Amino acid sequence: MLKTPHSSIQETLTRGVEEIIGKEDLETYFKENRTLRIKLGVDPTSPNIHIGRSIPLLKLRDFQELGHKIVLIIGDFTGTIGDTSDKTAERPMLDQAAVETNMQNYIQQVSKILDISKCEIHYNSEWFKDMGYREICRQADLFSVNDFNARDNIARRLTAGKRVSLREMLYPLMQGYDSVAIKADVEIGGMDQRFNILAGRTMQKHYGQRPQVVMLNPLIEGLDGRKMSSSWGNTINLMDSPRDMFGKLMSLNDEFIIKYFTLLTRIDRKTIEDYSAHLANKGNPRDIKLKLASVIVSQYHSETTAKQEEDYFIKTFSKKELPDELTVVTPTSHDLITVLLESELASSRSEARRVIEQGGVKIDQTTVKDMAYKVPRGSVVQKGKVRFVRVG
């Protein structure tokens, strides 16, 4: 039986929570001291989990600390199909090899937030790989085409004459059946997942289970002010180096500082209110942003590392000094894209092009946007605010 302090329950039900469907059931479960099965599904459509995904993961940790069972589903099957919930265009199917490559480090990344030893982990190919058309048709009969088309993003696509594939209509069935397969009491997800998670309630009723409680979290903006998304390259990733993580957070728009504290950390609310008051009274946003960057780098690395990165940032950016030691890179070619790739300042040619176009690369303190620029030997290349290399 669980012992759950009321204050912890209230924090769990409110912080980082946009909407709860079935809240009365959840409150009853708490009163009954039931150990709940709390579900989150993650599709490995990218090799990196970004901190926007940490919102539901931190909520899972809140439940885990209250003694509930966390059930994590890695969508090795659904990841190939593609969820269209937050997309303005059709998401292409991924081949199985790409999904398997993407998910290689997912458990390692999730373990930065959750105690994996206490989690129940499933891959949804366990139940989908042998499911036949007859069962799929029974599930599909629970929903109408109008139900699917009424979703805002689908309606906009149809109005604009964009293609909507039948495959996309199947995705909510699969996410819903995941809840049946693991007998979820609660499913957590972003507001863009509302339709899919509600499908789980419908599906559970069909299979004779009690409908899960739906807990929806708000979405977070990325570094460019749009919703954080791997496809847009505006992310801060759980596996980013401490330097990259700190530098990215320091480039965050000031308007999102308090939102990041509230949703992406577990700093107490009184402290966050003090920070908010400081900003409202025309305090320097950089001071509060330094605290934010330190807190988040501490979460995913260590307090010692966060202090080192704060000192490094102040020295190299605020005081406009170069680091004492610069990594020297001798590239196979001196065009800027090759230099960025071979110095590991960019992970792909597309990222290199994007950061150049956005004005995020400097050569000897001068911003360069020319893709074909030839970097002279001895030059210092800077990406973002805190990453430097010298070209040999």
Domain range annotation of the chain:
6-220, 242-318, 327-391
Give the model's pLDDT for residue 195: 93
Give the model's pLDDT for residue 342: 87
Average pLDDT over residues 190-207: 95
User: What Cα–Cα distance (Å) separates residue 83 from each residue in 275, 295, 375?
Assistant: 37, 32, 42
- pTM value? 0.83
CATH code given to domain 327-391: 3.10.290.10
8 Å CB contact between 212 and 22: yes
Give the model's pLDDT for residue 4: 46
- Give whichever of 21-25, 90-94, 158-162, 365-369 has the largest mean pLDDT: 21-25
Give the model's pLDDT for residue 1: 34
User: What Cα–Cα distance (Å) separates residue 347 from each residue in 102, 127, 340, 387?
Assistant: 15, 35, 8, 14
Cα-Cα-Cα-Cα dihedral sign, residues 268, 274, 280, 282? negative
Strands 387-391 and 327-329, sheet pairing? parallel
Here the contacts of 331-335 (C-beta below 8 Å, separation 24 or greater) are 331/375, 331/391, 334/374, 334/375, 334/376, 334/377, 334/391, 335/371, 335/372, 335/373, 335/374, 335/375
Whether the predicted pLDDT of 322 surpasses 70: no
Q: What does the block give as tokens for 79?
A: 């990841």
Residue 188 confidence class, pLDDT cut points 50, 70, 90: very high
- Taking only the tens place, the pLDDT of each residue in 123-162 is 999 999 999 999 999 999 999 988 888 887 788 888 888 8
Whether the predicted pLDDT of 3 surpasses 60: no
How are strands ordered across the β-sheet holding 387-391? 327-329, 387-391, 380-383, 361-363, 366-367
Residue 258 confidence class, pLDDT cut points 50, 70, 90: very high
- Taking only the tens place, the pLDDT of each residue in 162-185 is 888 888 888 899 999 999 999 999
CATH topology assigned to domain 6-220 = Rossmann fold (3.40.50)
Average pLDDT over residues 110-116: 96
Give the model's pLDDT for residue 92: 75
Average pLDDT over residues 201-218: 98
Give the model's pLDDT for residue 261: 98
Give the model's pLDDT for residue 257: 97
Residue 20 confidence class, pLDDT cut points 50, 70, 90: very high
Residue with tokens 């499911």: 131
Indicate the SS3 state at residue 121. Answer: strand
Give the model's pLDDT for residue 253: 93
Q: Tell me, what DSSP letter sits at residue 143?
A: S
Whether the predicted pLDDT of 5 surpasses 80: no
Give the model's pLDDT for residue 347: 81
- Taking only the tens place, the pLDDT of each residue in 242-253 is 999 999 999 899
Residue 324 confidence class, pLDDT cut points 50, 70, 90: low
How many whole angstroms separate alpha carbon 223 and alpha carbon 235?
Answer: 7
Give the model's pLDDT for residue 130: 93
DSSP letters along 210-254, please? PPPEEEEE---B-TTSSBP-GGGT---BTTS-HHHHHHHHHTS-G
Average pLDDT over residues 94-105: 90
Class of domain 242-318: mainly alpha
Q: Packing angle between helix 269-280 and helix 257-264, nearest 10 degrees?
A: 180
Average pLDDT over residues 35-63: 95
Q: Packing angle between helix 6-14 and helix 23-31, nearest 10 degrees?
A: 160
